[in-house]
Amino acid sequence: MQITKIMTTALVSGGLALAGLGLTPVAHADPTTDWGPAKHWCPGEPLPATGNHVTDPLHDWNPTVCHTYYYLWPGMGNVSHMIWDGDNPPPKPPPPVGLYCDPGTFFGNCRIGDHP
């Protein structure tokens, strides 16, 4: 009797787990950019913040049409220091080369290279 109860519980639990896997929606990320979702601006809205409109103003920004833009790392933008206007931002640069050690170790299993 005890074994039958355990087997029934295991089968029901396994069936529910498999059913849950089949019904779970799948999240799809935007595969076109490493910089996150695109931002949109249209005439009448405040200009995108560049950090400082005096020293880093938007240039080549047509204020009469809508724009799709991305915030990038400083120095990578095409209309300001850190804003890319358009649908094709550049990819993120690779991580810097340095000394990396495995977590939880103090100078154990260290290597020079890109961060894994």
- Check: CB of residue 53 under 8 Å from CB of residue 47: yes
Q: What is the CA radius of gyration of the chain?
A: 25
Assigned token pair, 35:
């910089």
**94 contact partners, CB below 8 Å, separation of at least 6:** 114
pLDDT tens per residue, range 61-75: 899 999 999 999 989
Q: Which amino acid is at 93?
A: P
pLDDT tens per residue, range 77-105: 999 999 999 988 999 888 777 777 777 77
Stretch 29-46: mean pLDDT: 81
Q: Which amino acid is at 87?
A: D
